[in-house]
Structure 1
Amino acid sequence: MKLIAEPLKGVKVIEGERYKDLRGHFNQVSQQDQLREVGVDQRFVQTNHAFSYQNVIRGLHYQTNQAKLIYLVSGKVLDVFVDVRHDSSDFGKWGSVWLEQSDTKLVYIPVGVLHGFVTVSKKSNLIYQMTANWDPAKEGGINPLDPRLDINWPLVGSAILSDKDKSSQAFGQIDWELIQWQM
């Protein structure tokens, strides 16, 4: 594994390895010692799988005690992250990285950074590994279509969002200094 980019402070884009032969290919998605070598010294305790159709936007979500490691299994997505750590030099900034099934990228999202993605292919399968189990009392998010963020979601048609994401607050409605991030 090698670190190929750090688009926002602590957000790491990591290139994995793929082994190909006539049977297909094999990817070692994550290995703790190798992740540590590229600056991700975390223990992941929960793994989720998100299957999405084209134009589905999931996010922008956070959990106050949870970092994430993202891996795309199939399809193509634009993976998006927003720094909401009030003491960060990147506060309020967003970044993105394209993930395609033909590559081996991982994206590490630290505590205090919102995460979301949009599926641009017909379907996508995304795996999330998390450093803490899901806890609804510690989760939150903002509306991914908030004009203050001005994220250019590459949509073919209309965005498809969950009711929860549609009704999420705008960035400016949350007092980010009051959130206690558990690093």
Structure 2
Amino acid sequence: MAIQVTATGLPEVKIIEPKVFGDARGFFYESFNAREFAEHVEQGVEFVQDNHSCSSRGVLRGLHYQIEHAQGKLVRVIEGEVFDVVVDIRKSSPRFGKWDGVVLSANNCRQLWVPPGFAHGFLVVSDSAQFLYKTTDYWYPEYERTLLWSDSQLGIEWPLFSTPVLAVKDAAGKALAEADVYA
């Protein structure tokens, strides 16, 4: 197996660590293999869109989700480091409203599988970060929702060193008690 898969505190959310081959020239690893993903992470997943963002230190993006056309996301960092957060917003889940956070960086080569039914966001903790994610559905702006990153009910322990830099939509996110959630 070229990957190691570990469940997070939210068992459906998985940390994927590829086998990295390094020497004096640099390194090589398979960043995605559909056969291994199906065998070790989740079967029946088809990715339809790749996204790439670049952000500077202190930028917080999220917590995003689509209430219809829910997206699964396979995320990773190719430059810098982020604190990546996932929140279970499935009302029927015993972990509804629970969150988990994982450090993703270019150095640790970790990826995170965020299945549909979860809100997702990240905080850049390095000078800058380039963030890549594959999605299982297309972006539909009319269905996009934002959960408030600072909702006290969630109690997310962001590693903040100053006030985060937010997009208008992220600053205006809804608290979990008021947000559209999944059944």
Q: Do the structures match in fold with TM over 0.5?
A: yes
Give per-residue Cα distances to partners, 1:101-122, cap 9 Å, x unaligned. 1112110001110000001111
Q: Secondary structure at the residue paired with 1:171?
A: coil
Residue 22 of structure 1 and its aligned partner are, at CA, apart by 2.4
Residue matched to 1:55: 58
Residue 175 of structure 1 and its aligned partner are, at CA, apart by 4.8
Q: Secondary structure at the residue paired with 2:177?
A: helix
Residue matched to 1:16: 18
Residue matched to 1:69: 74
- AA partner of residue 11 (structure 2): K
In 2, Cα distance between equivalents of 1:96 and 1:140: 20
Work out the percentage of aligned pairs sharing the same amino acid: 36
- AA partner of residue 154 (structure 1): P
Residue matched to 2:39: 37
Structure 1 window deviating more from structure 2 (121-130 vs 12-21): it is: 12-21
Runs (4 or more) in structure 1 with deviation over 3 Å come to: none
Give per-residue Cα distances to partners, 1:21-75, cap 9 Å, x unaligned. 2221122111100111212221111000111111111000012321000011111
In 2, Cα distance between equivalents of 1:57 and 1:27: 28
Residue 5 of structure 1 and its aligned partner are, at CA, apart by 2.6
Residue matched to 1:26: 28
Q: Secondary structure at the residue paired with 2:162?
A: coil
1:139 aligns with 2:108: no
Q: Secondary structure at the residue paired with 1:34?
A: helix
Residue matched to 1:80: 85
Q: Structure 1 length normalisation: TM-score? A: 0.92
- Name stretches of at least 5 consecutive residues in structure 2 with no aligned partner: none
Q: Verify the 8 A CA contact 2:54 2:128 in the aligned structure 1.
A: yes
Q: Structure 2 length normalisation: TM-score? A: 0.92
- Name stretches of at least 5 consecutive residues in structure 1 with no aligned partner: none
CA-atom RMSD in angstroms: 1.3
In 2, Cα distance between equivalents of 1:175 and 1:34: 34
Map 1:65-144; keep pairs closer than 5 Å.
Answer: 65-144=70-149
Give per-residue Cα distances to partners, 1:88-108, cap 9 Å, x unaligned. 111010001111211121100
